[in-house]
Amino acid sequence: TTDETLREAFSAYGNVLDSIVMRDRETGRSRGFGFVTYSTQQEADGAISTLNEQELDGRRIKVNLANARTGG
């Protein structure tokens, strides 16, 4: 999945402000997860409830709210 296909899939559920597939710094390969930012919580909730456990580019995806990173 690319940044563009991720945005495409999620834009059906609201106004996507940002979308990114996380990549390995050394190889450039996908790390298997990404982030999508919506303009409202309602749009995010709709995408979560609709897309969680669905298939995207041949892989079943988990969609949930991101947890804030804590200092470590």
| Contact status, residue 23 vs residue 30, Cβ threshold 8 Å | yes
Report the CATH superfamily, name and number, of domain 3-61.
RRM (RNA recognition motif) domain (3.30.70.330)
Per-residue confidence band for 67, with pLDDT thresholds at 50, 70 and 90: confident
Per-residue confidence band for 61, with pLDDT thresholds at 50, 70 and 90: very high
Q: What is the pLDDT of residues 1-40, one digit of tens each?
A: 899 999 999 999 999 999 999 999 999 999 999 999 999 9
Domain ranges of the chain: 3-61
Higher pLDDT, 40 or 69: 40
Per-residue confidence band for 72, with pLDDT thresholds at 50, 70 and 90: low
**pTM of the full structure:** 0.86
The angle at the Cα of 42, spanning 44 to 60, to the nearest 5 degrees, equals 30
